[in-house]
Amino acid sequence: MEDLNDIVTNLEQELRRGTVTLCVLSRLNKPKYGYALVEELSNAGISIEPGTLYPLLRRLESQGLLASEWETSGSKPRKYYTRSEAGERIYKLLCGEWDDLTRSIDRLIHEEGE
């Protein structure tokens, strides 16, 4: 039988997976590079592994939600990401969806089933 701890970890991961994109988009109103984003999110209580975030940033960029630019003037070259126009629109939509979802789920989990 599967270990209960494994099942819990797995379910938690699944629960977080869909929300990561929203978290990332929320921080990218200004250009940021990947590792700064990891730290910022971690300080906000959302831990995301760099090995997950970096590919995600690229995917969002290829989908047109993010724009990127290499910043080479500093001590080391870094790729800065920011929400594109389309990303802005989609971010707003997702925020609305999130509000609806949390309201519904709040009701479900705080009321007893009939």
Nearer to another protein, 63 or 102 (CB): 63
Report the candidate in 68, 59, 62, 67 with the shortest Cα–Cα distance to residue 21.
Answer: 59
User: Where along the sequence are the contacts to another protein (CB under 8 A)?
Assistant: 33-35, 39, 49-52, 54-55, 58-59, 70, 76-79
Least CB distance to another protein at residue 78 (A) = 5
Report the candidate in 23, 41, 27 with the shortest Cα–Cα distance to residue 82.
Answer: 27
Nearer to another protein, 39 or 85 (CB): 39
Nearer to another protein, 44 or 101 (CB): 44
Least CB distance to another protein at residue 37 (A) = 11
For the chain, the straight-line distance linking the first and the last C-alpha, in angstroms and rounded, comes to 32
Helix axes 34-43, 50-62, angle to 10 degrees: 120
Least CB distance to another protein at residue 5 (A) = 21
